[in-house]
Structure 1
Amino acid sequence: MKAVVLTGIRKMQLTEIPEPVISSDKDVKIKLKTIGVCGSDIHYYSEGKIGSQVVDYPFRVGHECSGEIAEIGAAVDNVKVGDLVVVDPSVHCGSCDQCLAGRPHTCRNNKFLGCPGQIEGCLSEFIVMPSFTCFPVTGKLNAIQAALIEPLTIGVYAVNLAAIKNKNTTVAIFGAGPIGLSILMKLKADMVADVGMIEPLDYRLIKAGDIGASWQINPGEEEVEEEVKNRNELLLDVVFEASGEQEAVNNAIKILKPGGKLVLVGIPPEAQYVFNMDLMRRKELTVINVRRQNHCVQEAIDLVTSGAVDVEKMVTHEFNLEETPVAFDMVEGYKFGTVKAMINL
């Protein structure tokens, strides 16, 4: 089958590899239909690592995907051949303390699709996954919508962790990439009225406005704290950091009111942030870390099928498998107005 692998920093190659085979009676073989290019894929592409996860070349990335069931193991009963499925890329063991505590996303033995040293990614024609990772959506979603459920689940989970009880809560998001936009979509579906977007790329601010951001700030052209105070004198209740930038964290601490919540979703390139603990302590800010998602796949599917979220609004470019290197180059370089690139098979 055809596959695209990383062979070095900013180097990708289209190659032929053997088709995967089902090895467990609970596995399914999936013929991929659509694959989303994620920011974490770009970290592996441009840096060769995310924190302690280091690529051993050649390696196949990719974890946002949808596909049709091509074959099922003897014990599979949740999907059938021909079903279009959303694929949850996280494979948990089900028996460790974290899984038993209802936290499969922090499973001690977790294996993640497209993560170095764990599972080869989905930039290929077929993959094999445990059947429990598959959610059938035939007749409910198209292949692109289905592939976008994975990033949407992260936005859904981040907002759920923030536990916003009042629709008048004041909110800002740093970063209008796919995750920041997914957070925005979930907030708007929850009818949170005052949600601003802070983003240095004007075309992404426009996209955020189209999706429903109440206000937009370009931190390269405006002073963030001053602009927020002009809009909300008492500052903000919740800030989502979805850019992975130190400056965004610095600004987030400044624009949160005492008792506010800082929700960290983005991945910093050097895997660390520096915090102004004097200001954080005096404001008594709550910091919430987001680890992928937990039990949010069905909620994300329901948001899209109900029409509450139009997840395709974030898509700006589509490619075929052979064009994958072009897609990665465009996403990494923010070229040609790229927000979300999809690879269709």
Structure 2
Amino acid sequence: MSGPQNLSFVLAKPLDVKFEDRPIPELKDPREVLVRVRVTGICGSDVHYWQHGRIGDFILKAPMVLGHESAGEIVKVGSAVTDLQPGDRVCMEPGVPCRHCPECKFGKYNLCHDMRFAATPPYDGTLAKYYVLPQDFCYKLPENVSLEEGALMEPLSVGVHVVKQAQVKPGDSVVVFGAGPVGLLCCSVAKAFGATKVVAVDIVPSRLEFAKKYAATGTFQPTKEGTPASNAAQIIKENGLGVGADVVIDASGAEPSIQTSIHVARNGGTFVQAGMGRPDITFPITALCVKELTVKGSFRYGAGDYKLAVELLAHGRLSVKELITKEVKFEDAEKAFEEVKNGKGIKILIRGPED
């Protein structure tokens, strides 16, 4: 065969990416499958690794393939695979846990200490022609779900997990801080779960305009002059939230948003932190205690989240097409990363390498 066998988009070091032909990965377990990657979305974490070479304790020490929001087609299956076959279109859950630790056994495999997560050092990502996964981390796409939509199942699963953490139920009022991809998807999933009021908060007017057209029933742009408490009061007043929101989700990681979130929540309400920002912040702990809030973190996605994400989309409970800004060829991957870094669009997709 001529030409590259497994062309991959590799981060050699911060600000240094290159295309590299790597060996086609082999199936090492009878329950694994080989996927031909067709579409990959760019995530903020990919851009952060490209720019800085690290996120927290995860530090790039050797060249690493980027990407983890992907969908593709099965090209080969292991001898013990029974529910997938070559030609099946699948979305790919990019984090494989050890399956043996207490967290895995408790059904919290997203908290596994030995998680092998794509494009998180030292593990290669999915921006390549081929990628290997266990069969149960590939989800067959229904006929009415495209591969492009399949690539968005990763961020949608994050939104599903956040909203499940918040235990959103029919009739709830929900305020979401941050109208980036995850925040927007939290709005959409909250509505799918039955929330009647979904308010998106952001400092960028264009994002709020999109949020209102997409899934939010109301929006709010904080003022620089306002305090967290005064901005919270205004959010409640403008959106008819009465004594406060039942559920508040921060998908921004920004300290002012987190502070405002606590003041927006009603007494006895729920606050979920989904966005990651600075390691330490100033937090309105008195308001938290007096309101007796339920406070939770949210990390990636867990058991059932990918499956539910696919089902919500397949049954028309929500839509993700609107989030796709554009698609680019594999050879234009670095340009696409530049656009994401500069805040252009919402979700840019990269096509897999052609034959």
The answer, yes or no, to whether TM exceeds 0.5 is: yes
SS in 1 for 2:282: coil
Partner of 1:279: 287
Asked if the contact 1:50/1:271 (under 8 Å) is kept, the reply is: no
Q: 1:151, CA displacement in angstroms?
A: 0.9
Q: Deviations over 1:177-214 (max 9, x none)?
A: 11111111111112311111011222211111111211
Task: Report which stretch shifted further, 121-130 or 2-11.
Answer: 2-11
Question: Equivalents in 2 of 1:166, 1:77: separation in Å?
Answer: 38
Is residue 157 from structure 1 mapped to residue 157 from structure 2 by the alignment?
no
Task: Report which stretch shifted further, 212-221 or 150-159.
Answer: 212-221
SS in 2 for 1:184: helix
Residues 58/213 of structure 1: CA separation in 2 closer, same or farther (3 Å cut): same
Partner of 1:141: 145
Question: Equivalents in 2 of 1:146, 1:139: separation in Å?
Answer: 11
* Aligned counterpart for 2:34 among listed residues 29, 37, 59: 29
SS in 1 for 2:271: strand
Q: Deviations over 1:290-328 (max 9, x none)?
A: 111112111111111111111111111211111111111
Task: Report which stretch shifted further, 42-51 or 140-149.
Answer: 42-51
- TM-score normalised per structure 2: 0.91
Is residue 297 from structure 1 mapped to residue 286 from structure 2 by the alignment?
no
Residues 281/138 of structure 1: CA separation in 2 closer, same or farther (3 Å cut): closer
Partner of 1:43: 48
Asked if the contact 2:168/2:193 (under 8 Å) is kept, the reply is: no
Task: Report which stretch shifted further, 270-279 or 45-54.
Answer: 270-279
Asked if the contact 2:259/2:284 (under 8 Å) is kept, the reply is: yes
Question: Equivalents in 1 of 2:102, 2:251: separation in Å?
Answer: 29
Partner of 1:339: 346
Is residue 174 from structure 1 mapped to residue 177 from structure 2 by the alignment?
yes
Q: Deviations over 1:203-261 (max 9, x none)?
A: 21111111121111122568432421322342222111101211211111222222221
Question: Equivalents in 2 of 1:221, 1:308: separation in Å?
Answer: 36
Question: Equivalents in 2 of 1:68, 1:150: separation in Å?
Answer: 16
What amino acid does structure 2 have at the position aligned with 1:309?
L
* Aligned counterpart for 2:232 among listed residues 207, 210, 225: 225
Question: Equivalents in 1 of 2:83, 2:225: separation in Å?
Answer: 52
Partner of 1:109: 114
After TM superposition, the structure 1 = structure 2 runs for residues 1-345 of structure 1, keeping only pairs within 5 Å, are: 1-117=6-122, 119-137=123-141, 139-167=143-171, 169-220=172-223, 223=226, 224-231=231-238, 232-268=241-277, 270-294=278-302, 295-335=304-344, 338-345=345-352
What amino acid does structure 2 have at the position aligned with 1:150?
E
Residues 64/222 of structure 1: CA separation in 2 closer, same or farther (3 Å cut): farther
Q: Deviations over 1:104-129 (max 9, x none)?
A: 21223221111112x20001111111
Residues 192/233 of structure 1: CA separation in 2 closer, same or farther (3 Å cut): closer
Asked if the contact 1:319/1:344 (under 8 Å) is kept, the reply is: yes
Asked if the contact 1:318/1:344 (under 8 Å) is kept, the reply is: yes
Q: Deviations over 1:315-344 (max 9, x none)?
A: 112111111111111112213xx1111111
SS in 1 for 2:313: helix
SS in 1 for 2:152: helix
| Residues paired across the two proteins, number | 340
| Structure 1 unpaired stretches of 5+ | none
- TM-score normalised per structure 1: 0.93
SS in 2 for 1:141: coil
Q: Deviations over 1:71-128 (max 9, x none)?
A: 11111112101110111112122222122111221223221111112x2000111111
What amino acid does structure 2 have at the position aligned with 1:53?
F
Q: Deviations over 1:134-175 (max 9, x none)?
A: 1111524210111111111111111111112341x2211111
Amino-acid identity (%)? 29
Asked if the contact 2:255/2:281 (under 8 Å) is kept, the reply is: yes
SS in 1 for 2:73: strand
Asked if the contact 1:33/1:66 (under 8 Å) is kept, the reply is: yes
Residues 113/234 of structure 1: CA separation in 2 closer, same or farther (3 Å cut): same
Question: Equivalents in 2 of 1:226, 1:102: separation in Å?
Answer: 39
